Chain A
Amino acid sequence: DAGVTQSPTHLIKTRGQQVTLRCSPKSGHDTVSWYQQALGQGPQFIFQYYEEEERQRGNFPDRFSGHQFPNYSSELNVNALLLGDSALYLCASSLTGRGIAETQYFGPGTRLLVL
């Protein structure tokens, strides 16, 4: 039973560039959430995808966008990168039960460095 996988593991970009991060959820899960974790801080919620639509969004600018595919995998896109976007980007998957509390399982993360 594969857990949550993310690619790439590490990435170096320069300011102004664009980046795409990928996530495959745990087998049987249908919901993907993305988090940004700056060094020494807790994960900050970016957005959540369910049924190929963005269902919830945190306080992140429109430069952050995403997509969910029919196989439940997901992408996070960040445009016009800023130095402050350097962080660990975590993907978490869960099973949506419409009002049932859900446990999220995190992937290993993608460590993004913007120079």
Chain B
Amino acid sequence: GQQVMQIPQYQHVQEGEDFTTYCNSSTTLSNIQWYKQRPGGHPVFLIQLVKSGEVKKQKRLTFQFGEAKKNSSLHITATQTTDVGTYFCAGLVIKAAGNKLTFGGGTRVLVKP
């Protein structure tokens, strides 16, 4: 079945530094979604990328969808303590029988002040 892998599993970042987390799917995706989950919370939708090679920015966050629509990345610049949490990518495959969203294992981000 479809698998979505994320690396790294953990990311320790000094406040003010940049980092990137990567997401890879075993199958071609209809779209890729990114979520953030704070400790003790639930996943909160951040963004959705649909087109091959698409790049979207949200303030200090830059999201990219690969040309083959099988991988994606999230780059955060000037990390802040509010960026703490787990970032999940989720690949959507659209089928006639219904759409299925498969989550990666997440990248847990810890920020050192």
- Given contacts A42-B88, A43-B43, A59-B1, are A104 and B50 in contact (CB under 8 A)? no
Total contacting residues, chain B, CB less than 8 A: 27
- What mask results when residues 87 to 113 of chain B are scored 1 for a CB within 8 Å of chain A, else 0? 010001011011111111110000000
Complex formed: what's the CA distance from A88 to B95 in Å?
27
Q: Which residues of B contact A43 (CB under 8 A)?
A: 43, 88, 103
Complex formed: what's the CA distance from A92 to B45 in Å?
11
- Chain B residues with a Cβ under 8 A of chain A: 1, 6, 30-31, 33, 35, 41-45, 48, 50, 88, 92, 94-95, 97-106
Complex formed: what's the CA distance from A99 to B94 in Å?
6
Indicate if A66 sits at the interface (CB-CB under 8 A): no
A55 to B101, Cβ gap below 8 A?
no
- Given contacts A99-B94, A101-B94, A107-B42, are A45 and B101 in contact (CB under 8 A)? yes
Q: Which residues of A contact B44 (CB under 8 A)?
A: 106
B103 to A105, Cβ gap below 8 A?
no
Complex formed: what's the CA distance from A48 to B100 in Å?
8
In residues 62-99 of chain A, which contact B (Cβ within 8 Å)? Answer: 88, 90, 92, 96, 99
A109 to B42, Cβ gap below 8 A?
yes
4 closest pairs, A vs B, by CB? A55-B98, A42-B103, A56-B98, A101-B31
Choose one: A45, A105, A109; the contact of B100 (CB below 8 Å).
A45
Write 29 A-B pairs (CB below 8 A) sorted by A numbering. A35-B103, A42-B103, A42-B105, A43-B88, A43-B103, A45-B101, A45-B102, A45-B103, A48-B98, A48-B99, A48-B100, A55-B98, A56-B97, A56-B99, A56-B100, A58-B100, A59-B1, A88-B42, A90-B42, A92-B101, A99-B94, A101-B48, A101-B50, A103-B48, A104-B33, A106-B42, A107-B42, A108-B41, A109-B42
